[in-house]
Amino acid sequence: MVERGERALRVSAPQTTSVGIPAVRHAMGYALREMGPVRGARTLLSMNQASGFDCPGCAWPDPVATERSVAEFCENGAKAAAWEATTARVDRDFFAAHSIDELRAMDDHTLEHFGRLAEPVHLAPGATHYAPIAWDDAFALVAERLRAMPSPDRETIGIGKGAVTLEDITDHAELIVVVGQNPGTNHPRMLTALEAAKRRGARIVAINPLPEAGLGRFKNPQSLRGLVGSGTQLTDRHLAVRVNGDLALFAATNKALLEREDRDAATLDRAFIETHTSGFEAAAAHWRALEWSDLERLSGLARAEIEAFASDAVAAKSVVVTWAMGLTQHRNAVATIREIVNFLLLRGNIGRPGAGPSPIRGHSNVQGDRTMGIWEKAPDAFLDRLRDEFGFEPPREHGYDTVGTIRALRDGLIDVFVALGGNFVAATPDTAVTEAAMANTALSVHVATKLNRSHLTTGREALILPCLGRSERDRTGGRDQVVTVEDSMAMVHASRGRLEPGSPDLRSEVDIVTSIGAALFGDDLGWTAMGQDYAEIRRHIERVVPGFESYEERVSEPGGFQLPRPPRDSRTFPTSDGTAHFSVNEVDAVEVPEGHLLLQTLRSHDQFNTTVYGLDDRYRGIRGGRRVVFVNRADLAARGLADGDLVDLVSVYTDGERRASAFRAVAYPTPPGCAAAYFPEANVLVPLESTAIGSNTPTSKSVVIRLERCAVAAGDDGRRVLSASA
Ligand SMILES: Nc1nc2c(c(=O)[nH]1)N[C@H]1C(S)=C(S)[C@@H](COP(=O)(O)OP(=O)(O)OC[C@H]3O[C@@H](n4cnc5c(=O)[nH]c(N)nc54)[C@H](O)[C@@H]3O)O[C@H]1N2
Ligand SMILES: Nc1nc2c(c(=O)[nH]1)N[C@H]1C(S)=C(S)[C@@H](COP(=O)(O)OP(=O)(O)OC[C@H]3O[C@@H](n4cnc5c(=O)[nH]c(N)nc54)[C@H](O)[C@@H]3O)O[C@H]1N2
Ligand SMILES: [Mo]
């Protein structure tokens, strides 16, 4: 794979300040290059406004309409919008000029840079090039292949909800704990909320193996203070936890709280525990039995640091804990999150203002999925209502999650693979296994905006169906259509694109899905009417999904409406007995054999998931390249390696070894025994079989690796080896 545009890689010290003037300049420069001045300005100014479209980037909630700034977007949201609004096009001439093999040799950065997919194309069995196909022929082809399947159950992917509102963070919480999350890069608008919290005196604790710049000093680009001043120091305490050490850390904190209760009976919220919870005694016995020395070893933190954090918790009347992928992509992720819930329950930090758990889910596209029953394990009550509304019996068998899909592809159990966006083969673990598995399917279909690797790693036959992006005006059925989105805090609101579509031949995702439905089943269920007027779909939703009564009226309110969330609003819990349950979680962490490291894979500042905008990671001091591995200086020295040496990353798992070659070692402040590299480059190292217990999420943040001095001479395997300069 040729890494085009990979200039000599340069490394400098990581930054401690985020989002000042340079960030705004970066965003504007980027938008101008991709879109030109008029399209650029129009795009950025309608983003996240009540009358505009929702940012295609992260799902951070919008402030109430009256408190939005003229430019309610972050540097990275601007990049995401510009990436969609680019003026470059991928059309029939492009595909005639480039074979699949030729395109596959290019990296993802180059592929997406070719521009917007402009018309539907088809890869016939045995063909070397994609060729144009009419929309109706494409729908007919998908319907025919789906109909030919031996059982309708051969298919699909799925991904729960926070109990916190934006005001809980900005106005109420006295302590905000940010765990396993890098908001400076991935949720930049969260920094504004953290700054507001800080200015009224809240404390912020960051739990992260890396000292992320976004959690240091924040210069709000939209305030005078931020423009001319030295910014606001956000984090009061940074706990440099060992990768995968969070379960041990929270268990230790709970133990510390319990020990303080023995000395001072006002430490825990006994009234709350008695009235609203069950299982306290068993959990308390478990914490008492834990040994401090084990907890220190597993968390990588000294008892004094953990006690200091416990003091922060005791000093605060209300605590919010937010987390993202740094917690979920581990084998013991479910246990870790339960232990955080225990931590909140001990002091009654659930079900009142300024308190609660706040999982920050990523993609702006995934929030509403579960609400709408898009889940591989859709509950029976939901399926019953669907049956009553539409008059058909929905399949009750569970579908596949991501990892299950790859295994089924590998085993030849999937005939038709349909992806509504995304870059499946690049985003998923075990790249080599996944790519090979894809060839086992008869037809792969991608509904997408830009060309990516998954479109070139096809089934025996393939379709690319190009769709409108969220920034674009949707005139399906001859009227202005509105879609709705749900953010990380369960607010539902309307989103309207404003830009002229990238090509006249694009269709909306709703149109594409309903057209396939009509081609497959005929029009009994009213597919066509739903496709031509999205309000029709919302009328069905009013009757099927609880919480969506009067959907159409409420969503037209500026700012939208809040879905009901039982624990926050009433302190009744959606469990069998209505109480919140303490849980007992065996404390463990991934065992790393002697000489090995625990690798986490993460995002740079210049990417959105598999979309690589550029090769810099400014905040971490990386420029011009992505094949870097961050390692503690002492770990490098122990291996006879120097900062800047080229190394191979070799992952070791029960089923064998996997290798990613030619990474530049960067000495970095991460705890001993830990390492970090960028996804998707590091995905070849993540074993398909290694997933979280209870959620089956790939363990992309705990990969056991060793470092080997790189044996590849410059230019081998086509990759230009990076040269180091300080
Ligand atoms: N610009 C931009 N914005 C995005 C995205 C993007 O790619 N680019 N992606 C979107 C999506 S889909 C998502 S899911 C989110 C992802 O948002 P994040 O979860 O913030 O993304 P990651 O880069 O994976 O960062 C994980 C963070 O967890 C830390 N971490 C890793 N392992 C551990 C651990 O064991 N314990 C603890 N305590 N911390 C750990 C890492 O050091 C890092 O700071 O961002 C969304 N927003
Ligand atoms: N090692 C490792 N692996 C990871 C992660 C990690 O932290 N480490 N993170 C995981 C996470 S949290 C996530 S969310 C996944 C992300 O995985 P994916 O969602 O599969 O990847 P994306 O890069 O977001 O998908 C980009 C593609 O979506 C298409 N697209 C963009 N906009 C639209 C649109 O409006 N409509 C349609 N139909 N298509 C569109 C474009 O064609 C673009 O090429 O990766 C996961 N994989
Ligand atoms: Mo995500």
CA-CA-CA-CA torsion sign (143, 148, 153, 159): negative
CA–centroid distance, 324 to ligand 1, in Å, is 6
- 398 close to 382: Cβ distance less than 8 angstroms: no
Q: What is the mean pLDDT of residues 120-148?
A: 96
Rounded to the nearest 10 degrees, the angle between the axes of helix 246-263 and helix 303-315 is 60
pLDDT in tens, 264-322: 999 999 999 999 999 999 999 999 999 999 999 999 999 999 999 999 999 999 999 99
Q: Which atom of ligand 1 is nearest to the CA of 245?
A: 35
User: pLDDT tens-digit profile of 362-377?
Assistant: 665 566 777 887 777 7
Mutation probe of ligand 2 site: the residue of 405, 423, 451, 488 with most atoms within 8 A of C-beta = 423
Per-residue pLDDT band for 26 (boundaries 50, 70, 90) equals low
**Highest mean pLDDT of the ranges 152-166, 451-465, 571-585:** 451-465
Q: Is the pLDDT of residue 78 over 60?
A: yes
Q: Which ligand is nearest to the CA of 455?
A: 2
Return phi, psi of residue 103, to 5°: -70, -35
Q: Which residues pair with 531 in a beta bridge?
A: none
pLDDT by residue (tens digit) across 321-330? Answer: 999 999 999 9
Question: Ligand 2 atom 31: the closest Cα is on which residue?
Answer: 449
| Residue to mutate, 30, 58, 428, 697, ligand 1, most ligand atoms under 8 Å from C-beta | 58
Mean pLDDT of 495-508: 93
- Ligand 2, residues 76, 374, 444, 610: which to mutate, most atoms within 8 A of Cβ? 610
Judged against a pLDDT cut of 80, whether residue 573 lies above it is answered with: no
User: Of the ligands numbered here, which is closest to the C-alpha atom of 213?
Assistant: 1
Task: Output the residue whose Cα is nearest ligand 2's atom 34.
Answer: 469
Between 555 and 34, the higher pLDDT residue: 555
Structure tokens at 310: 């416990």
Ligand 2 shell residues, CB under 6 Å: 112, 325, 329, 362-363, 420-424, 427, 447-450, 452, 467, 469-470, 509, 601-602, 609-611, 679, 682-683, 686, 700
- Ligand 2 center–CA 418 separation, angstroms: 15
**Burial bucket for residue 539 (CB in 10 Å: 0-12, 13-18, 19+):** middle
Between 654 and 163, name the one with better pLDDT: 654
Query: How far, in Å, are 33, 151, 251, 419, 439 from residue 142 at the CA level?
Result: 37, 15, 51, 12, 17
Q: Two tokens at 423?
A: 């870059």
CB 585 within 8 A of CB 338: yes
Q: Give the model's pLDDT for residue 212.
A: 93
pLDDT at 156: 34
**How many angstroms separate the CA atoms of 422 and 576, rounded?**
37
pLDDT tens, residue by residue, 409-433: 999 989 999 999 999 999 999 999 9
Atom of ligand 1 nearest to the CA of 670: 42
The answer to whether 158 and 176 are in contact (CB under 8 A) is no
Structure confidence at residue 227 as a pLDDT band (50, 70, 90): low
Distance between Cα 424 and ligand 2 center (Å): 7
Residues in the chain: 726
- Asked if residues 651 and 575 have their Cβ atoms less than 8 Å apart, the reply is no
Distance 629 CA to ligand 1 centre (A): 16
In the prediction, which pLDDT does 47 show? 73
Looking at residue 226, what is its pLDDT?
65
Q: What is the mean pLDDT of residues 489-503?
A: 89
Residue 241 has pLDDT above 50, yes or no: yes
What's the confidence (pLDDT) of residue 454? 95
Selection from 348, 179, 312 nearest residue 247 by Cα: 179
Query: What pLDDT was estimated at residue 149?
Result: 77
The pLDDT value given to residue 469: 93
Residue 485 pLDDT > 50: yes
Q: Which span out of 11-20, 79-88, 213-222, 267-276 was modeled with the highest average pLDDT? A: 267-276
Q: How far is the CA of 608 from the centre of ligand 3 (A)?
A: 10
Band of the pLDDT at 2, cuts 50, 70, 90? Answer: very low
Q: pTM here? A: 0.91
Local confidence band at 58 (pLDDT 50, 70, 90 cut-offs): confident
Whether 189 has a pLDDT exceeding 90, the answer reads no
Confidence of residue 151 (pLDDT cuts 50, 70, 90): low
Judge whether residue 591 has pLDDT over 70.
yes
What's the Rg (C-alpha) of the chain?
25
Q: Please say whether the beta carbons of 466 and 505 come within 8 A.
A: yes
Atom of ligand 1 nearest to the CA of 609: 7
**Mean pLDDT along residues 85-95:** 92
Give the tokens for residue 457.
């790693």
Strands 443-448, 416-420: pairing kind: parallel
Q: Inform me whether the pLDDT recorded for 5 exceeds 50.
A: no
The CA angle 165-71-679, to the nearest 5 degrees, is: 70
pLDDT tens track for 323-353: 999 999 999 999 999 999 999 999 999 988 9
- As a whole-number percent, the residues of the chain with pLDDT over 90 amount to 63
Q: For a ligand 1 pocket test, name from 186, 205, 323 the mutation site with the most ligand atoms within 8 angstroms of its C-beta.
A: 186
CA-nearest of 596, 602, 698 to 651 is: 596
Ligand 1, atom 37: nearest CA belongs to which residue? Answer: 180
Give residue 138's pLDDT: 98
Nearest CA to ligand 2 atom 22: 422
Tell me, in angstroms, the distance from the centre of ligand 1 to residue 694's CA: 21
Give the DSSP per-residue string, 594-638: TT-EEEEEE--TTEETTEE--S-BGGGTEES---EEEE-HHHHHH
Closest CA to 180 of 162, 203, 204, 206: 206
Q: Can you give 674-698 as a three-state secondary structure string? A: EEEEECCHHHHHCCCCCECCCCCCE
- Summarised one tens digit per residue, pLDDT across range 625-651 is 999 999 999 999 999 999 999 999 999
Among the bound ligands, the one closest to the CA of 324: 1
- pLDDT at site 508: 97
What band does 25 get if pLDDT is binned at 50, 70 and 90? low
Q: Which region holds residue 393: left if phi is over 0, alpha if psi is between -120 and 50, else beta?
A: beta
| Residue of 18, 14, 15 whose CA lies nearest to 232 | 18
Is the pLDDT assigned to residue 606 strictly greater than 80?
A: yes
In the 8-state DSSP scheme, what is residue 6? Answer: -
- Judge contact between 6 and 720, C-beta under 8 A: yes
Residue 716 has pLDDT above 50, yes or no: no
Does residue 527 carry a pLDDT above 90? yes
Q: Which of 196-200, 308-312, 708-712 has the highest mean pLDDT?
A: 308-312
Q: Which ligand is nearest to the CA of 189?
A: 1
Sign of CA dihedral 109, 113, 117, 123: negative
Nearest ligand to residue 698 Cα:
2
Tell me which residue of 325, 361, 334, 375 sits closest to 694, measured CA to CA.
Answer: 334
pLDDT of residue 307: 98
pLDDT tier, 1 (very low <50, low <70, confident <90, very high otherwise)? very low
> Residue 253 has what pLDDT?
98
Beta strands in 50-134 (DSSP E): 89-90, 116-117, 121-123, 131-132
388 Cβ neighbours under 8 A, 6+ residues apart: none
Query: What spacing in Å lies between the alpha carbon of 720 and ligand 2's midpoint?
Result: 26
Which ligand places an atom closest to the C-alpha of 422?
Answer: 2
Q: Average pLDDT, whole number, for the chain?
A: 88
- Ligand 1, pocket residues at CB < 6 Å: 57-58, 76, 179-182, 185-187, 207-210, 212, 241, 243-244, 246, 324-326, 362-363, 600, 602-603, 607-609, 701
What is the pLDDT confidence band of residue 57, given thresholds at 50, 70 and 90?
confident
Give the amino acid at 240.
Answer: A
The reply to whether omega before 680 is within 30° of 0 (cis) is: yes
Ligand nearest the Cα of residue 109 is: 2
**Residue-level pLDDT at 717:** 37
Question: 722 pLDDT exceeds 60?
Answer: no
- Report the separation in Å between the CA atom of 688 and the middle of ligand 1, taken as the mean of its atom positions: 20
Between vectors from CA 484 to CA 481 and to CA 487, what angle results, nearest 5°? Answer: 155
In the prediction, which pLDDT does 159 show? 28
Cβ(611)–Cβ(112) below 8 Å: yes
Residue 557 pLDDT > 90: no
Atom of ligand 2 nearest to the CA of 469: 35
Q: Please, what are the domains in the chain? A: 22-86 (no CATH), 89-150+379-563 (3.40.50.740)
Enter the DSSP assignment of 718.
G
Q: Which two tokens stand for residue 302?
A: 């000294």
The amino acid that residue 5 corresponds to is G
pLDDT score at 188: 86
State phi, psi for 214 to the nearest 5 degrees.
-65, -15
pLDDT surpasses 60 at 146: yes
Distance from chain centroid for Cα 608: 9
pLDDT at 723: 33
| Interatomic CA distance for residues 303 and 248, integer angstroms | 11
